Amino acid sequence: MSRSDPVSRTLLSVLTALTVVAGLLHGPPPASAAPDGDGVNVSGEPFQGTTADGQVRGYADLHSHLMSYEGFGGSLMCGEVFDPRGVQEALRDCPDHGTDGASAWFENLVSTGDLAGRHDTTGWPTFKDWPSWRSRTHQQTYYKWIERSWRAGQRILVNHLVSNRTLCEAYPLKKYSCDEMDSIRLQARRTYELQDYVDGLSGGPGRGWFRVVRSPSEAREVIERGKLAVVLGVETSEPFGCRQIGGRSQCTEKQIDDGLDEMRRLGVSSMFLCHKFDNALCGIRFDGGTTGLIVNIGNFLGTRRFWQADTCTGPEHDNTIAPANDLTAALSGPLAYLRPLGVTLPVYPRPPHCNVKGLTDLGAHAVKGMIERGMIVEVDHMSAKAADRALSLLEEARYPGVVSSHSWTDLGYARRVHRLGGMLTSYASPADDFTSRWRRVKQTSDPGRFFGYGYGLDANGMGALPPPRDGNGSDPVRYPFTSPFDPDVTLDRQRTGERTWDVNTEGVANYGLVPDWLADVRNVGGEEIVTDLSRGAEAYLRMWAATRP
């Protein structure tokens, strides 16, 4: 985004004014020293080994963001996954949220849609208002909360390193460069630092339960030892600097090749080629509703183009974007002739909408490069047109390394993903909605292939976590409960500091409530869905292993 651009300069001025007026620099005083929080409340030893036929067991989260607090310039999200100084430092509110949350305009905007709002900013040890399923900027993946989920039966966590240059530049406060690849490198380093930190608490190098893995064989060995296999992924808007400005690509094939090689050296095994904004590799699947209006402005700031859509001619489609009514439908046809001249307006035809931008030649080069390196291709966030071409390339190569990790692709592509040997998991949502999605996905599975399921919690991804299930009074999760995935493990209500959470009334307030949510999934879906979820780790490892020569 050029700061000399009038639109960009105006938006930046407005945001900066809001920040200054709100008194963002008046934060709470430092907390006094405190011991590390518990946050586990689990009894019993995590299972090890395999089943009688050699399968690993355990549920899998294929989409979360442990280190996103270091993304977007490093000042947008509050709290840390760990801090050597203790929980009182790790779980603090953002200084710019002030003493009552009134100045937390971005948190208010993304969580409630209103710039005005209040929340208690004390953090540890009271946690009166956060973390919660509603909050978008407060830390949700403190390492003790992840440990609770691991102890209950989780065995794979894909940690997507994430950032967005345009959002970083628009937000007035920042500690780091807005270069997305610099942020990816920093977040990868933080992930290895967390591994070392857990090792230090567990008796020394290699002894901790949190293990970053670089290959399916390493992941299998880690899981067989009863530990959590952490896979590094990347979900960013301008990978390798592959931005597009005014229709002109800002990267080359060599940059892509060098970037993919660097990602492999960092240990990255799974990757998105586009996210939220169109770039030089592919068009994106639109956000809908009010969020779409805001993200479309970001797309313009980043690319000098608004999203462009036609009415879809095939069954697969992207999300509907606004405005789209009789008037815009009448205008959109003539305006389409201005696209080659670089003139775009946010005026759209009748839905269903399809992004006119698909997978570019550079994007195809990137997909082929990922195949050569044995990387997992993430098709979520690709436009319908881009996903179609990406899947065609994978089909030509008979390459099974493809994942839809959090419900951001048209389900019409599910059978193609399954036929390749890939894997679909659903965005985490209330137990009844999640169970319905599982049923639909399972109907598309290939009966000749091993089927396992998982979820994409998208924790710390600025999306809502699962709220309490409506009408759960007749069949709530009853505490203490036995883990659906390990009969030797019992969980009581999660407690951190002075706060105790109950999934029945507070949903998934943080990562530690994932086992409670899955117990509620069992209430709704029964043992069949638990079986499929317990096979999630095995399904992921089989898919990953099949990418290797």
pLDDT class of 36 with cuts at 50, 70, 90 = low
Joined together, the tokens standing for residue 13 give: 């001025």
> Would you say residue 30 has pLDDT above 90?
no
pLDDT class of 252 with cuts at 50, 70, 90 = very high
What is the reported pTM?
0.92
> Would you say residue 154 has pLDDT above 80?
yes
Write down how long the chain is: 549
**CA separation for the pair 528, 522 (Å, rounded):** 9
* 8 A C-beta contact, residue 280 and residue 360: yes
> Would you say residue 150 has pLDDT above 70?
yes
**CA separation for the pair 219, 76 (Å, rounded):** 32
Q: Burial-class residue 52 by CB neighbours within 10 Å (0-12, 13-18, 19+).
A: exposed
The predicted structure's pLDDT at residue 5: 45
291-340 confidence digits (pLDDT tens) = 899 899 999 999 999 999 999 999 999 999 999 999 999 999 899 989 99
> Would you say residue 27 has pLDDT above 70?
no
pLDDT class of 536 with cuts at 50, 70, 90 = very high
* 8 A C-beta contact, residue 359 and residue 367: yes
Report the percent of the chain where pLDDT is more than 90.
Answer: 87
**CA separation for the pair 505, 289 (Å, rounded):** 27
**CA separation for the pair 442, 444 (Å, rounded):** 5
* The dihedral sign for the CA sequence 285, 418, 453, 473: positive
Q: Burial-class residue 84 by CB neighbours within 10 Å (0-12, 13-18, 19+).
A: exposed
The number of helix segments (H) and strand segments (E) in the chain equals 17, 19
The predicted structure's pLDDT at residue 108: 86
* 8 A C-beta contact, residue 56 and residue 114: no
**CA separation for the pair 409, 377 (Å, rounded):** 13
Question: Which of 209 and 10 is assigned the larger pLDDT?
Answer: 209
The predicted structure's pLDDT at residue 199: 98
Query: At 235, is the secondary structure helix, strand, or coil?
Result: strand
Strand ranges in 139-247 using DSSP code E only, listed in sequence order? 154-163, 210-213, 228-236, 244-245
Mean pLDDT of the chain: 92
> Would you say residue 279 has pLDDT above 90?
yes
Question: Which of 21 and 326 is assigned the larger pLDDT?
Answer: 326
* 8 A C-beta contact, residue 529 and residue 438: yes
**CA separation for the pair 520, 495 (Å, rounded):** 19
DSSP string, 179-208: -HHHHHHHHHHHHHHHHHHHHHHHTSTT-S
Task: Provide the terminal-to-terminal Cα distance of the chain, rounded to the nearest Å.
Answer: 42
Q: Classify residue 31 by its DSSP letter.
A: P
Query: At 43, is the secondary structure helix, strand, or coil?
Result: strand
Of 62-76, 104-118, 271-285, give the lowest mean pLDDT range: 104-118
**SS3 readout for 132-170:** CCCCCCECCCCHHHHHHHHHHCEEEEEEEEEECHHHHHH
Q: What is the CA radius of gyration of the chain?
A: 23
Query: Average pLDDT, stretch 540-548?
Result: 96
The predicted structure's pLDDT at residue 37: 59
Q: Classify residue 63 by its DSSP letter.
A: E
The predicted structure's pLDDT at residue 113: 78
37-93 confidence digits (pLDDT tens) = 577 999 999 999 999 999 999 999 999 999 999 999 999 999 999 999 999 999 999
Q: Classify residue 100 by its DSSP letter.
A: T
The predicted structure's pLDDT at residue 110: 84
430-486 confidence digits (pLDDT tens) = 999 999 999 999 999 999 999 999 999 999 999 999 999 999 999 999 999 999 999
338-382 confidence digits (pLDDT tens) = 999 889 999 999 999 999 999 999 999 999 999 999 999 999 999
Q: Classify residue 478 by its DSSP letter.
A: P
Q: Which domains does the chain have, with CATH numbers?
A: 39-92+119-549 (3.20.20.140)
Joined together, the tokens standing for residue 44 give: 């019993």
pLDDT class of 16 with cuts at 50, 70, 90 = very low
475-520 confidence digits (pLDDT tens) = 999 999 999 999 999 999 999 999 999 999 999 999 999 999 999 9
**CA separation for the pair 404, 381 (Å, rounded):** 9
Q: Classify residue 134 by its DSSP letter.
A: S
Query: Average pLDDT, stretch 100-128?
Result: 89
The predicted structure's pLDDT at residue 3: 37
